[in-house]
Every structure is written in C-alpha cells, then in structure tokens.
Structure 1
Amino acid sequence: MTKPIRNSAKAVIIHNGNVLLTKNQDSTGIFYLFPGGGQEKGEELKDAVVRECMEELGAEVEVGDLLTVREYIGSHHEFARWDADVHQVEFYFSCRLRDPGQSFAHAANPDEKQIGVEWVKLQDLPDMRVFPRALCKELSREKRPPFYLGDIS
C-alpha cells in the first residue's frame, strides 16, 4: 500500500547572518535540517510550525510569510533505498524567535536523530551537509521573493 502524501511545515529562522537548524546524526555523520515537521489533521500549517519548533527547539516562534514550497519524492533522491515510498510537500516559513537570547536545552520532543540545535552562519551552509541543499543557495540571496523549489535535494 502506498503512503499518502504528507504536508510538512518548516521554520527558516535567520538572525544576525545565522540560521537556526537542528543538528542530527546518522550512520554517515552529522547533518542539519530546518526545524519543523508533519502537519496534523485539522491543524493549520502555521500552527504546525509553532508546535514543531516547540518540540524540536524548545522555543516559541512567530510565523511570518511563506518563503518557499519544496516537494520531496523519496524515490528520486539519494535516500531512495529507505525513502522510496515517501512523498512530502514542505512549506518553509520565515519565522523569528519570541526570545532570541534563549538557550535550546528544553526541546520537548526532538526527532529521533536530533542531537542538538545550532546557529549556523549563512555563508557556511554550502560547505555543510544541510537538507535541502537547494534552499541553502536561495537563502544566500540578498532578496528572496517566494519561489517554488519542486522535487530537489
């Protein structure tokens, strides 16, 4: 049986030239993701971002504009061996922390592979294992109008 298409709401939190990412580890090493996750039935995307940031960062966020939409069709990517039946539509929102000076020691429900939270310099993103990589390129632009990424890594 095929899995249904899943919506995911993600936060892009930029402050002083840095972006806030979850730090994760798998069998090949450290990788970074934008905080966020699956939308629950009856939940608006903006509310999913707020909930997911509380779970993964332990932080309250204010949700701004939609920045981009990305599709992830697992069978088309490097993780096809275990993600072949995954089709996810990801909505990336510009967000800001309600308390920019807070620590991130109180994540309520971090993801299975999550080992921390880290501010990363925007200029360092191209040299790091960050998913999706194509979004990192767009974040380095001076002006970032809304855009559609499609099915990319």
Structure 2
Amino acid sequence: MNSIRNSAKAIIIQDERMLLTVNKDDKGLFYICPGGGQEHSENLREAVVRECMEEIGEQVEVLDLVHVREYIGRNYDGGDPGTHQVEFYFECNLVSSSPTFENVSVPDHYQIGIDWVDINRLDEVRFYPKELGMRIKNKEGSIRYLGDVN
C-alpha cells in the first residue's frame, strides 16, 4: 500500500550563503536542505529540530513555514513510483553563534558532508529541488506552494 510521507526541511541562510548537506550518488555531488521524515507523534517543527541535529549536528531555531513542495516519484525519470512526499520548508536560524558541525549523528544515506553555498550559485550546483533554488536566488518568497517540481 502506498502512502504519503511528510518531510520537514530547514532553510538556513547567513551572509547570502545557504547551509546544505552535501550528498553523492552515481551522478556525482548534489545538495539539499537538511531535514527529513516526520515521525509519529512529532510535529513538523520538532521534526526539523531533530533532523538538523542528526544531519548537521546543530540546534536550530525554527521560524516560519516558507515553502511546500510535493515529490511524486512516478513523475521523474528514475524516481520511485511508490514515493509521494510532502516537504515543508521552514526558515531557520542556527542557535550557536559559532557552530562546529561536529555532532552529526545520523546523516542521510547519501550524505558525505555539510557546506555553505552562495545563494547566487544555487543554479550552478546540483541543488534539489531546482525550483526552490531559483526562488531563493531570485528572492521570490511570495509563492509558498511549489507543487511537484524538480
């Protein structure tokens, strides 16, 4: 039986740079926002905090919900046809003024690191979802629902 999964993600921007997880697959490096699946009895804000601790090793302050994206796997070449995920993107700040990123405990399967990427270069790296990267680069925050975009 197929189901829909919720995912809570952090958009962390400081000094025109965005904190992303660095991941590697058979096509090379790709970048995504830290975050992941919501667990039973956990609200979305709690999921963002937990996932950031696991993937970047730092506490975050969760602010506003800024974007919602759906990923429907059957609509993508090589996508899992059984996957339907609703991703909630929250604006977040790092709690620490001098983060070390040393306490990563549960990185994603493909995750190999963490990096600050200049928001003006989001279209030059393999960042997912691309549409979100373009909206952040162009400072287009008024449209919150992105739909099923790559």
1:33 partner amino acid: I
Name the counterpart of 2:88: 91
Q: How many percent of aligned residue pairs carry the same amino acid?
A: 48
> Where does structure 2 lack aligned partners over 5 or more consecutive residues?
none
> Where does structure 1 lack aligned partners over 5 or more consecutive residues?
none
Name the counterpart of 1:10: 9
Name the counterpart of 2:112: 115
Any idea what SS the aligned residue of 2:123 has? helix
Q: In the TM superposition, what whole-angstrom CA distance separates every residue of 1:37-71 from its partner, at most 9, and x where no partner exists?
A: 00011100000000000000000000000001000
Any idea what SS the aligned residue of 1:92 has? strand
The separation in 2 between residues aligned to 1:26 and 1:100, in whole angstroms, is: 32
How well do the aligned residues superpose, as a CA RMSD in angstroms? 1.1
Runs of 4+ in 1 over 2 A off after TM superposition: none
TM-score (ref. length: structure 2): 0.96
Offset at residue 147 of structure 1 (A): 1.2
The 5-angstrom pairing of residues 60-139 of structure 1 reads 60-80=59-79, 83-139=80-136
1:113 partner amino acid: Y
The separation in 1 between residues aligned to 2:139 and 2:132, in whole angstroms, is: 14
How many residues are aligned here?
Answer: 150
Q: In the TM superposition, what whole-angstrom CA distance separates every residue of 1:78-133 from its partner, at most 9, and x where no partner exists?
A: 332xx111000000000000014212122011011100000000011101101101
TM-score (ref. length: structure 1): 0.94
